[in-house]
Amino acid sequence: MVEDSHRTIMPLAVAVVKELAAVDVVPKNELDSVRLRSFEMSLNGVTVELCSWGASIRRLMVPNYALSSYNDIRSADADTDNIVLGYDSAADMATSGNPAFLGAVVGPVANRIANGTFVLNDATYHLPLNDNEMHHLHG
C-alpha cells in the first residue's frame, strides 16, 4: 500500500485459482450420477474451497491468529484453521443429501419458498420440496 497526502493506493491483488478434483457421484435421492468439481482460491493467506454441488463452500482456511484461543479446532496445518462446518469431501456432501445445508450458499431466498415454486425474470422455477414435502427451504 502506498500513501501520499491525498490518497491511498492499493496494489491490485489476484487470487490464485485451481481445480482440485472432479468426481462422478450419485447424490442421495437421485437416479443419475453428476460430476462434482472442487475449486480452491487463495489470496493473502486465506483459502476458500468451493464445490459445484449447490455452489457450496467446503472449506474456508484463515490465518490461525484469528482463532488462537480455540486450540481444539486447529487444523493439522499450523498456519491456518478451517472455519466452515462441513463434510470431509464433496462426494460425502452429495451422497448424504446434505440435510443440514452445511456450506450452502443460501439464495436467492433464505427462507421457505411456498410449494417449491417461484418466478424470476418471467421464468417459473420448480424446486425440490425439502421442507415437510410442502415447501422448499433456503432456495
pLDDT of residue 75: 47
Burial profile 30-69: b = 16 or more Cβ within 10 angstroms, e = fewer: eeeeeebebebeeeeeebbbbbebbebbbbbbbebeebee
Q: In this predicted model, what pLDDT tens digit does every residue of 8-64 receive, in sequence order? A: 555 556 677 787 777 777 767 777 788 888 889 988 888 899 888 777 898 898 887
What does the pLDDT read at residue 123? 92
CA–CA dist 14, 17 (Å, integer): 9
User: pTM of the full predicted structure?
Assistant: 0.58
pLDDT tens per residue, range 53-86: 777 898 898 887 655 555 545 444 457 888 898 8
